[in-house]
Amino acid sequence: MSRILIAGNWKMHLNVSQASILVHRLQERIKTHRDVEVALFPSMLAMQPLSMQIDRRKFRLGAQDGHFKDEGAYTGEVSISMLRELVHYVLVGHSERRHIFGESDETIGHKVAAAVRNDISPILCVGETKDERSSKLTSQILHNQVTAGLKNVTSREIKHIVIAYEPVWAIGTGDIAKPDQIASAVATIRSNVAHLYGVAPSKRIRVLYGGSVNADVARAYLEIDGVDGVLVGGASLNYHSFSSIVGSAYRLTRER
Ligand code: PGA
């Protein structure tokens, strides 16, 4: 059984002092747990101060994005290589990056490779839009995004990758995906991985669910077959909801 991963994507919220207050509160409520891993994804600006503040037995840090080139004339960017030793994870291909910033599958493939090259685990985000789902294109979209995202990953490296299934229509909308929709999408993702790397890696790879996860539904999502954790946006900004999501994971591991 993999460790459950509870990831909090703060997006473009919380300045440095607000981020520090949230960590302080979470630190009081969240304990160290052998089977549950908690990762926080603050803004780039808060990364360095939080890396000094966090209790590393309780939390891991992750970046929300990064540039795949190690350095160069790319005004405004922070490279994934600059995040080395500072973060454990980096989100790659989040739907907001794909849809608002026009990130292509090719760029996403380069970012996944840059993360692996720098000893950072990429969390490759994939998911269909509402229109794609109603046109019955979900499996095709997942196949395309998984294949392109993993294009530069070798079979030795696949164990470092995490995949997050995040249906675009459920992100930040309060639209709750049904457990059977998630189970079938996660099965599709694992079968794509099996096709590319074999059955054993497809079972071992961690797959998260993300999209309007809150304290009320987290438990039901964590119980879905094949789901190893959740990627939480809005609800991760509130210490009460985020720590109760982590609490659901603790209870689940106790009952297993
Ligand atoms: P949400 O965001 O929980 O606010 O829907 C999830 C995400 O974007 O990762």
Q: Whole domain around residue 66: which residue ranges?
A: 4-255
- Please provide residue 71's backbone torsions phi and psi, each rounded to the nearest 5 degrees: -160, 170
Q: Is 46 in the pocket of ligand 1 (CB under 6 A)?
A: no
**How many structural domains comprise the chain?**
1
Tell me, in angstroms, the distance from the centre of ligand 1 to residue 212's CA.
5
In the numeric block, the tokens 């109603």 are attached to 134
Q: Relative to the CA of 173, which ligand 1 atom is closest? A: 5
217-248 residue pLDDT tens? 999 999 999 999 999 999 999 999 999 999 99
Alpha-carbon separation of residue 51 from 57, 174, 208, 214 (angstroms): 12, 31, 24, 26
- Angstrom distance (rounded) from CA 219 to CA 237: 18
d(CA 178, CA 183): 9
User: Catalytic residue positions?
Assistant: 94, 166
> Taking a C-beta distance cutoff of 8 angstroms, is the pair 78, 58 a contact?
no
Q: Tell me the two tokens of residue 56.
A: 């590393």
Q: What pLDDT sits at residue 256?
A: 80
**Mean pLDDT of the 137-156 span:** 98
167 within ligand 1 shell (Cβ under 6 A): no
Segment 171-195, tens digit of pLDDT: 988 888 999 999 999 999 999 999 9
Distance 156 CA to ligand 1 centre (A): 30
- Atom of ligand 1 at shortest range from CA of 91: 9
- Output the residue whose Cα is nearest ligand 1's atom 3: 233
Task: Give the Å distances, CA to CA, from 83 to 44, 60, 65, 239.
Answer: 9, 13, 10, 25
* Residue-wise burial string across 84-115, b where 16 or more C-beta atoms lie within 10 A, e elsewhere: eeebbbbbbbbbbbbeeeebebebbbbbbbbb
Q: Which residue CA neighbors atom 7 of ligand 1 most closely?
A: 233
Q: Is 142 helix (H, G, I), strand (E, B) or coil?
A: helix
Quote the pLDDT of residue 85: 92
Quote the mean pLDDT of the chain: 97
Q: 232: which DSSP letter?
A: E
- The amino acid at 1: M
Indicate the SS3 state at residue 216.
coil
Model-level pTM? 0.97
Determine the distance separating the centroid of ligand 1 and the alpha carbon of 232, expressed in angstroms: 5
Top mutation candidate among 6, 89, 213, 238 for ligand 1, by most atoms within 8 Å of CB: 213
Please work out whether the CB of residue 232 comes within 6 Å of at least one atom of ligand 1. yes
- Residue 70: give its domain's CATH number: 3.20.20.70
Beta strands in the chain (DSSP E): 4-9, 36-41, 59-63, 89-92, 121-126, 162-165, 206-210, 229-232
Residue (of 101, 86, 8, 75) closest to 44 by Cα position: 86
Mean pLDDT of 35-48: 98
